[in-house]
Amino acid sequence: MLPRNLSQLRRFQQASTERRSTAERRISRLSALLARAGAEPGDLLPARTCEALIASYPELTTDERKAFIEVLSQDFGADGDEVARAVNQWQTSEDADVMERLSGQRQLRAALEPKYERLFAQIKRHQGGLKFLVDLRRDVLEVASQSPLLKNLEVDLGAVLAATFRVGELELIRVTWRSEAALLEKLMGYERVIAFESWMAIKQRLGRCRRLYAYQHPLMPGEPLVFVQVALTDSIADNIQAILEQDTSTSLSDAPQAAMFYSISSTQAGLRGIDLGNFLIKRVVSELQRDHPTLQHFSTLSPIPGFRHWLRGQPGAEDKLRADPPWAQELLNTEEERAIVGAAPWATKGSLDQILNSDWVSSPCLQEALRPVLMRLGTSYLYAAKKMGKKQVLDPVANFHIRNGATLYRLNWLADVSDKGFKDSACLMVNYLYELERIECNSRRYLTDGEVVIGEPFKEEYSLPG
């Protein structure tokens, strides 16, 4: 499986007989290597082997990567016999002197440390090693549920990366149109919220009233970890198309009042669960305050990616619309149903989901009938829908911002009429407001009691407690 010269893994997918014999030889070599490495301190693998691994890993097939990961979890983990001996020695040293007892503690601690942790520390010292570890965890996450050993490897590797990507060690960079083309190209590929359709699109989003900031690590130069796009505006924006279509070369006032965080993207799947976006937003707020003292509001204009999916799962969502008896009392009231049928008589033959799949945005009458329904249901989803058996809100974007101390400020009608906004969130978007003096308190209330802090627009329009 894992050879001393890891470039041999490229042939791992050959004929089955050859593959089995190759695997047997690799296991034999690995066992011998481990026997030598386990008896001596220092590096676990030769430097050239580490360099070959780092260089060849991106070229491995999916099956080859799985084979490598299995070897790591099975043969580079903690030695059970060694742990048992250390535990026994620790237990029998209770009546010994302090020095012997401390020696037993050290031996137990050393026995419990998986050998792959030494390997990770060694690899990280090589050029490209940190990127290799990030990509390795991405692949480990895919298979971690298959065995306890794989899950343990995922947890240990995650802890290594969390310690490595401490906020104090990250570099904040502002990306401009003059930044290296390779970096801009990577950002175009990594963007997940609002895709860059062309080079002109990214140039526009780097215009005079736009800001783009990213975090990177000194050991991964030119590789953004997470980045955020910001629009400087005169008020809290309620429509993403207005932001994207704005003339960024001339529209910035001399005294912008609001900073709109309209897209935040994580780039490395291997860093899942390591929260960098929260720290990026807070750091960028400080930078913007310094550069633009007139700013009063720091808000997002965020998608609601789970809304339509949640809506399909509500009681009555698949029922047919009928004037009598009322359709899906759990979802609509009689007045709302009659308004929809009145605006679109054909709706009696469809479900709400089918209606939302129609071109309702182009019908002013149907828009008017659907608005109170979707705004009410959108509010319920964001404010009241919780994860099964937990206090956190169901929507992942809402959970991210509320957990980080933002206020659920305002739900916006027809805020994103793109295909993605139409399919995911029925064209709704939401503002999460970062009120600097309340961030810590809001976060504590949510994490402790599951309390969602509501902004005045929600309280006034929907009579929600705040």
Catalytic residues: 302, 401
CA-closest candidate to residue 225, choices 265, 278, 168? 265
Distance CA 264, CA 313 (A): 28
β pairing state of 258-266 and 297-300: parallel
d(CA 356, CA 332): 14
Q: In what order do the strands lie in the sheet with 429-433?
A: 171-174, 210-216, 226-233, 258-266, 297-300, 429-433, 407-412
* Nearest-angstrom CA–CA distance, 161 and 171: 16
**Are 414 and 339 in contact, with CB atoms under 8 Å apart?**
no
Bond preceding residue 114 cis, omega within 30 of 0: no
Q: Which residue has the tokens 């050239």?
A: 48
How far is C-alpha 135 from the chain's CA centre? 15
Element (H, E) at 215: strand 210-216
Strands 210-216 and 171-174, how do they pair?
antiparallel
Nearest in space to 351 (alpha carbons), one of 361, 362, 341, 342: 341
First to last CA, the chain: 58
* Angle in degrees, CA 199, 201, 207, rounded to 5: 105
Whether residue 231 contacts residue 272, with contact meaning beta carbons closer than 8 Å, is answered with: no
CA angle 329, 331, 336 (to 5 degrees): 80
Beta strands in 47-190 (DSSP E): 171-174
Spatial separation of the C-alpha atoms in residues 194 and 155, rounded to whole Å: 32
CA–CA gap between residue 427 and residue 419 (Å, rounded): 9
d(Cα 269, Cα 327) in Å, to the nearest integer? 43
- CA–CA distance, 142 with 144 (Å, rounded to integer): 6
Local structure of residue 393 (DSSP, 8 states) = B
Determine contact, residues 411/379, Cβ cutoff 8 Å: yes
